[in-house]
Amino acid sequence: MTSQNTQPELLSGGAMLIRALADEGVEYVYGYPGGAVLHIYDAMFQQHQVKHVLVRHEQAATHMADAYARASGKAGVVLVTSGPGATNAVTGIATAYMDSIPMVVICGQVMSHLIGDDAFQETDMLGISRPIVKHNMSVRRPEDIPYLVKKAFYIAQSGRPGPVVLDIPKDMTIPSQKFPYDYPKDIKLRSYNPNAKGHPGQIKKALATLLAAKRPVLYAGGGVILGRASDELTVLARKLNLPVTNTLMGLGAYPASDPQFIGMLGMHGTYEANQVMHNADVIFAVGARFDDRVTNATKKFCPDATIIHIDIDPASISKTINAHIPIVGLVKPVLQEMLHQLEKNKGELDQDALGNWWHQIQQWREVHGGRYDTSPSHLKPQAVIEAVHRHTKGDAYVTSDVGQHQMFAAQYYKFDKPNRWINSGGLGTMGFGLPAAMGVKLHYPEAEVVCVTGEGSIQMNIQELSTCKQYGLGVKIINLNNGYLGMVKQWQDMNYDSRYSSSYMDSLPDFVQLAEAYGHVGIRVTKAEELEPALERAFALKDKLVFLDIHVDPTEHVYPMQIPGGAMNEMFLSKTERT
């Protein structure tokens, strides 16, 4: 509220937009200019609170904003022009949507009176983005801009987070048309109430079920990270002596170095995690959504398990797998309530049963144990990730692209903290890794930020090496160069008699020269003994972007791998072994 004796300031729509972002605490906007947003860019130029980062392709702007959100928990902001600017942002919006990442995307639009005429650079961005956003809105009157910005952030960041698109016709931001500016403090929508705390009766039932369990497992997903509930999760898991598995999106939610951690589950999960799930009598799912890359065939999924499921989104509960004890609520307050009830009721765990269960788990751990073959002639990608883990003391932000390298990073970089592992799990977007690393590095310049990528993926947004130069973003690129679209090749090996239909990348660039052409440092590693000195040098070059082009075994596959159509615990363990 403005006090009675001060007149609200008069601002143009464009200036109101930027001021509203500043009032929302936004430090950086990632974007690319064009006709429909020129008034906004001019307003941006005339202030210094909100800084603009000029990418080289709008997709990169969305991934930068997205990764900033994944690392910080706050919505990232994108600004693009109408038409091609907006459509270039679509992949990034879909990427954020699939992983429930808060993001506000501001798109220019042609002048209101031209909408519907197929005007120059007009696309129906509300229509295009509708299936891949949490919400979208368009500005009809310039004076609504502060309210709509507030609403966009509120929706993006609350409940199950997600991207929000705000479409702004050019005539909403005309510099000469000014309106009183007042940024709302709070907002309430009668149709949207995202703050569920969980039903206490259900929570009690869940706790009783867990206390009585003989073969329990805690299955934690990205919701724990988004909900900032790792501490509560960790305390509860230890109190109940639960084995803990994390999804691809949940890595770091529970410390990987903890003895109760049994690794990632699902398609490329550990043998022990998938066995524990399959044989469990109680599955305690927290902020996870029983994705098809986790469950394998749903008909054969965990036959003996009573399922407790905490999620803020009721639509995620009993969507693919029926939950016996559903709890709709934000994970943090629900886990706090569980801890509180546990404190009071002093229920006894079945120590004998749990002892047997842990004994069994220990045996499963020994079956595969993350082993991989070594090769006298080739560097193994797994070994590279282990070396990166050592050199960064396990404390880096690691972004990745999509493919085998992503799975190796997930399996072998042991994440002990939440918000450190940044990858496109839901959409599986190649091209995500580099811009994501940039978004993190910009906000955490002191932190080590590593992008694990492949020679296929990196080329999908390689132009951003130029943006890195402009803003001095010293990320380390670990290019696990196997000369193939490796994950595609792996499927062709396994299902198509090694017919490598378009999975070989001919005429790859010289990545070292390429990095240098952009003004960075490039290092090539082709032999095992070159790896340590190369990493040594790369991480010593503190503020430099170093592109490590590491040639790894082109024949390597990712294991374990669930057998399609099977139960969770049916897996290939190597090229020659299966369960």
Ligand X SMILES: Cc1ncc(C[n+]2csc(CCOP(=O)(O)OP(=O)(O)O)c2C)c(N)n1
Strand partners for 107: 80, 167
Instruction: For tokens 């909100």, name the residue.
Output: 50
| SS3 state at 7 | coil
What string marks each residue from 446 to 485 as x (binds Mg ion by CB under 5 A) or -?
Answer: --------xxx-------------------------x---
Confirm if 59 and 461 have CB atoms less than 8 A apart.
yes
Closest distance between Mg ion and the C-beta of residue 495, in Å?
A: 18
Closest distance between another protein and the C-beta of residue 107, in Å?
A: 14
Which residues, numbered 179-238, are part of the site for ligand X (CB under 6 A)? none
Confirm if 325 and 209 have CB atoms less than 8 A apart.
yes
134 binds another protein (CB under 8 A): yes
430 binds, among another protein, ligand X, Mg ion, none (CB under 5 to 8 A by kind): ligand X
Dihedral of alpha carbons 187, 74, 160, 16, sign: positive
Is residue 386 within a helix (H) or strand (E), and if so which, with residue range? helix 381-391
219 binds, among ligand X, Mg ion, another protein, none (CB under 5 to 8 A by kind): none
In single-letter form, the type of residue at position 21 comes to L
Catalytic residues: 58, 120-121, 170, 487
523 binds, among another protein, Mg ion, ligand X, none (CB under 5 to 8 A by kind): none
Closest distance between ligand X and the C-beta of residue 524, in Å?
A: 16
Strand partners for 310: 286, 327
Closest distance between ligand X and the C-beta of residue 454, in Å?
A: 3
425 binds ligand X (CB under 6 A): no
Confirm if 89 and 58 have CB atoms less than 8 A apart.
yes
Helices (H), 158-244: 200-212, 222-226, 230-239
429 binds, among another protein, ligand X, Mg ion, none (CB under 5 to 8 A by kind): ligand X
259 binds another protein (CB under 8 A): no
How many other β-carbons are positioned within 10 Å of the β-carbon of residue 504?
A: 12
Structure token pair of residue 25? 């605490």
Confirm if 221 and 286 have CB atoms less than 8 A apart.
yes
Q: Looking at beta carbons only, is 190 or 499 nearer to another protein?
A: 190
Tell which one of 155, 256, 451, 485 touches another protein (CB under 8 A).
Answer: 155
Confirm if 436 and 451 have CB atoms less than 8 A apart.
yes
Q: Which stretch binds ligand X (CB under 6 A): 196-204, 390-398, 451-459, 524-532?
A: 451-459
Tell which one of 86, 98, 402, 465 touches ligand X (CB under 6 A).
Answer: 402
Q: Looking at beta carbons only, is 115 or 119 nearer to another protein?
A: 115
Structure token pair of residue 189? 């929508």
321 binds, among another protein, ligand X, Mg ion, none (CB under 5 to 8 A by kind): none
289 binds another protein (CB under 8 A): no
| SS3 state at 227 | coil
CA 97/CA 107 separation, integer angstroms? 17
Tell which one of 216, 486, 522, 560 touches ligand X (CB under 6 A).
Answer: 486
DSSP string spanning 93-147? HHHHHHTT--EEEEEEE--GGGTTS--TT---HHHHHGGGSSEEEE-SSGGGHHH
Residues that bind another protein (CB under 8 A): 126-127, 130-131, 134-138, 155, 189-192, 313-315, 318-319
Q: Summarize as ranges the residues that interact with ligand X (CB under 6 A).
A: 401-405, 428-431, 454-457, 480, 482, 484-488
